[in-house]
Amino acid sequence: MKKTSKVPFIIDAHLDLATNAMTMNRDLTKTVQEIREKEIELGWKDYQDRGNGTVSLPELREGNLGLVLATMISRYSENGSPLHTMALPGWHSPQQAFAHAQCQLAWYREMEASGEMVQITTKEELATHYKKWTENSESLQKKPVGYILALEGADSIVNLDYLYTFHEQGLRSIGISHFGPGRYAAGTHADGSGLTKLGKELLNEMNKLPMQLDLTHLTDKGFFEALEVFKGTVIASHQNCRSIVPGERQFSDDQIKCIIERDGMLGGALDTWMLYPDFKMGKDDPKKCNIHMELLVDHFDHICQMAGNSKHIGFGSDLDGLFGLEQTPYDINTIADLQKFDVILENRGYTQKDRDNIFYGNWLRTLNRILS
């Protein structure tokens, strides 16, 4: 029998909402379909995913995605460009990168002011928000999407004083690397390099604050160096398994084991090249390659087998992370389709408790450690 009830609450640990709003110029208060139609009407071709977006605030509500880790992304690159169409984009000074991050934060503040979103910084706020979504009969249209502020790539932290500025603004999660070289650590496609001197100083300073370190995008060398320095909560917000889909962007079993031993979390990502070996971006078609949602559960299974339980996995979809339907499992139309995982997981043998862990319970446990 087909299920008719929805999972009441889902947490997504990685969404680039501000990038979509302020770089992609998407009004995320509109439905996904409205955004697609507008981009097609305007004939925009500047990004591969124009007309193919999957995320907006109405769809988050439709899918009961009541809480997200929402990013600010702002790189520094001496020779780069701020345009994401460049190979190594970035602002030409850390101060510019900080200002751009503040622009993204200003968008989140506008969403708060209009009642679309609400920032979560304390345990009490998290408990109240969870109750509002799961026990209140209030219309979905009136429920603000909760967000915990995250930084993907730390280049915009001009110096250690700025870490405290960000923390006062609600920042609770930092991934110190992104793609290529970084001021604090090397990232994806810069394998062989690790933390910089500044990176080690930043992690030592983060040890003094209730913050979590997002290990996503770190190189193998940087990953193990970071674990030596940082003593707090560690997660990988959008990360899959290298043993299933090879590539330095995925984590090895040794890395996954380290996260499990630190009682950390891995958020399963839904970018097709992280689910299907040798997927060629811009060329391969998810439908023709038979890339479907259930492939993510192969990664979940692997992590659960390593851990002996379901306590270290959740969702970190990365949907609309500068890709759309052209690079998403073919059975996803919008982010609201994360609801489909309830049946998929049940059919794969995951109990109700397991599914509760995956949809929200594990992230609630982890996030409560970094909230005051």
Question: pLDDT digit string (tens) for 62-104?
Answer: 999 999 999 999 999 887 766 544 456 799 999 999 999 999 9
Range 91-97, long-range pairs (CB < 8 A, 24+ positions): 94/155, 94/156, 94/157, 94/158, 94/183, 95/158, 97/155, 97/156, 97/158
Residue type, 299: H
pLDDT at 138: 63
- The DSSP H or E segment spanning 214 is strand 212-214
* Residue 342 maps to a domain: yes
- Give 145's strand partners: 117
pLDDT at 85: 44
| CATH number of the domain within which 81 lies | 3.20.20.140
How far does Cα 344 stand from its chain's mean position? 22
* Residue 3 maps to a domain: no
* Residue 168 maps to a domain: yes
- Over the stretch 250-296, which tens digit does the pLDDT of each residue have? 999 999 999 999 999 999 999 999 999 999 999 999 999 999 999 99
Of 207, 274, 198, the closest CA to residue 236 belongs to 274
pLDDT at 226: 98
pLDDT at 79: 77
* Residue 2 maps to a domain: no
Residue with tokens 């969404």: 15
**Maximum Cα interatomic distance, the chain, rounded to a whole number of Å:** 58
Contact 84, 152 (CB under 8 A): no
pLDDT at 191: 83
Residue type, 362: N
Say how many CA atoms lie within 13 Å of 327 toward its Cβ.
Answer: 24
Angle at alpha carbon of residue 209, lines to 263 and 91, rounded to 5°: 100
Number of domains in the chain: 1
Q: What is the 3-state secondary structure (H, E, C) of 117-179?
A: EEECCCHHHHHHHHHHHHHCCCCHHHCCEEEEEEEECCCCCCCHHHHHHHHHCCEEEEECCCE
DSSP character for 300? H
Measure Cα distances from 320 to 14, 48, 288, 309, 335 in Å: 10, 11, 21, 30, 9
* Residue 277 maps to a domain: yes
* Residue 55 maps to a domain: yes
- The pTM is what? 0.96
* Residue 5 maps to a domain: no
What range defines the domain where residue 357 resides?
A: 10-370
* Residue 174 maps to a domain: yes
pLDDT digit string (tens) for the chain, length 372 residues = 456 689 999 999 999 999 999 999 999 999 999 999 999 999 999 999 999 999 999 999 999 999 999 999 999 988 776 654 445 679 999 999 999 999 999 999 999 999 999 999 999 999 999 999 998 766 666 899 999 999 999 999 999 999 999 999 999 999 999 999 999 999 999 888 999 999 999 999 999 999 999 999 999 999 999 999 999 999 999 999 999 999 999 999 999 999 999 999 999 999 999 999 999 999 999 999 999 999 999 999 999 999 999 999 999 999 999 999 999 999 999 999 999 999 999 999 999 999 999 999 999 999 999 999
pLDDT at 142: 82
